[in-house]
Amino acid sequence: MKLYLILSQLLYLMSLVFWLPIWGLSFMAFDQGIAFWNSLFVLTISAYPLAVIICSILAWIFYNKKRRTAVIVNLIPMLWVLGFGIFMFI
């Protein structure tokens, strides 16, 4: 369990390296003007580091008390990773 938390959080840390250029490029969504969906797209991408930090802290807090909750909380940032992966391969 501890190994899972460490490895998954290392994956999240490595993905932050790739997140930065994607975040910078996401502002090109505003090239055609500001719209609700463009803003939502940029905000969703911008929220990834916050989700990683908050979920990592909560996972380690829940690690001692509720291990299943720690696993579930730690999987929340994986939604961004999988979403990006699916988007890149389709």
Domain of residue 70 covers 2-89
Between CA 25 and CA 34 the distance in angstroms is 15
pTM of the entire predicted model: 0.84
Residue 81 has what pLDDT?
87
Q: What residues contact residue 30 under an 8 Å CB cut-off, 6+ apart?
A: 38, 42
Give how many domains the chain has, as a whole number.
Answer: 1
Residue 9 has what pLDDT?
93
Between CA 36 and CA 2 the distance in angstroms is 40
Residue numbers of the chain with a pLDDT score lower than 70? none
Tell me if residue 66 falls in helix, strand or coil.
coil
